[in-house]
Structure 1
């Protein structure tokens, strides 16, 4: 049978164990002092826009809606210490004439821009491949040719894909002929919105050069900003665009 003194000692030890601070299994210096870095956050807020980061994301484009179809466009680069620095900003960006809506609730033909974070994975435009090589555009690039369309035909298995009419498989009158937009599509970065091809959700959401007013659902920015984007975006840095309210 335990003595009263032993019982009291055990109780005191228990109290000390409960209140004493617990040292972490491995304390990591976020600035790399021990040769390691803290894990990257999965989401950050940049320029008033919430961004869901992909693994390895070091480049972000944000569109912060100001009023109507106007938005501030900012390009962000991740610093060596894990922070973010704005590299370019333009206050005359544009969104769709229908405003913004969550991507999974968007309907084709509504002129709405999908909210949220989308990967930037390829480009196209009116310049030739030789120009792209000289300019150092790193994302995959495709020059617009006669007969090129972005398929918006809900019956087609090529829905929400780039395709030339000579290859068939879609109804051209339901789709977007790319040569019709020479100014806006001089420089285009493709968002991965609806890559899973959900019919009726919308096709052809891009970051492109500003037109005269609102877009039909894309996001756009001044020509000088798109020219910068084509040079700056790097697939090795897993770039994304985030659209806010």
Structure 2
């Protein structure tokens, strides 16, 4: 005797296996409409990161020294008080806060930093100073600052680690420490007196410590010169990391 299962096969009727699972979809013909795809969620767009309202790394006492009208700040952070290694970041203030550029490796003076710079002490003065004038042996790369171009910026000799100094003054930006703003970086007027030193610049790095200046790689100096805008009252804020955080 044929079983019920065999009778159904003989009649051409489909048989579902009793597996407890949902049966497979029947075969589609050319007249069947394609299945409706499952709805997908729209991707969530991340909110843009908020800019810091204050320059990172500066404590309240140092922030208070930054002029209210300054909208550009070159922050030079020393590794320690006695180190000649530092990092520079150019910040610009907009309506939403301060936006920083990439960090640039830098050098400062051979003996580190000082809060009371004197001539020949081989230390870089800490503080907040204007950046108002530029110059160099190379032609003006396109800066908005007044630019003094000439052979008087020729650097000769060797640095403290035996490295050649040639090219160090191809580009310079005068730091307004003990100088008269609005003059060439070569002007030797010293409002605080000669004993307090001067001629503190940002200039091209020569792969070694400086006598008191801050130095950056030449491409970074070129970027700095093209970025600084006297209408934004640029300043430099510089010192060892723990002092800047005060």
Task: Work out which of the residue numbers 61, 67, 72 in structure 2 matches 1:54.
Answer: 67
Shift of 1:48: 4.5
Q: 1:137 to 1:45 in 2, by over 3 A?
A: closer
Equivalence for 1:242: 237
Structure 2 residue 73 is the aligned partner of structure 1 residue 63: no
TM-score, structure 1 as length reference: 0.62
Task: Answer whether contact 1:107 1:202 (CA < 8 A) is retained.
Answer: yes
Q: 1:178 to 1:193 in 2, by over 3 A?
A: farther
Task: Work out which of the residue numbers 141, 144, 149 in structure 2 matches 1:138.
Answer: 144
The ranges of structure 1 where at least 4 consecutive aligned residues each deviate by more than 6 angstroms after the TM superposition are none
Q: Give me the whole-angstrom Cα distance separating, in 1, the residues matched to 2:135 and 2:234.
A: 16
Equivalence for 2:91: 76
Q: 1:45 to 1:80 in 2, by over 3 A?
A: closer
Equivalence for 1:193: 177
Q: Give me the whole-angstrom Cα distance separating, in 2, the residues matched to 1:182 and 1:237.
A: 32
Count of residue correspondences: 164
Task: Answer whether contact 1:76 1:88 (CA < 8 A) is retained.
Answer: no
Equivalent residue of 1:74, what SS? strand
Larger radius of gyration: 2
1:104-115 aligned within 5 A:
105-115=116-126
Gaps of 5+ in 1: 1-40, 149-176
Which of the pair is proportionally richer in strand? 1
Task: Work out which of the residue numbers 207, 211, 217 in structure 1 matches 2:212.
Answer: 217
Task: Work out which of the residue numbers 135, 138, 142 in structure 2 matches 1:127.
Answer: 138
Q: Give me the whole-angstrom Cα distance separating, in 2, the residues matched to 1:221 and 1:112.
A: 17
Gaps of 5+ in 2: 1-52, 157-164, 180-190, 241-246
Equivalence for 1:169: none
Task: Answer whether contact 2:76 2:237 (CA < 8 A) is retained.
Answer: yes
Shift of 1:136: 2.8
Kindly provide the CA deviation profile for residues 183-220 of structure 1, in whole angstroms up to 9, marking residues without a partner as x.
Answer: 11111000110121422111200001111210000011
Q: 1:101 to 1:88 in 2, by over 3 A?
A: same
Shift of 1:112: 0.5
Task: Answer whether contact 1:144 1:179 (CA < 8 A) is retained.
Answer: no
Q: Give me the whole-angstrom Cα distance separating, in 2, the residues matched to 1:231 and 1:115.
A: 25
TM-score, structure 2 as length reference: 0.62
Task: Answer whether contact 1:61 1:75 (CA < 8 A) is retained.
Answer: yes
Aligned-residue CA RMSD in angstroms? Answer: 2.0
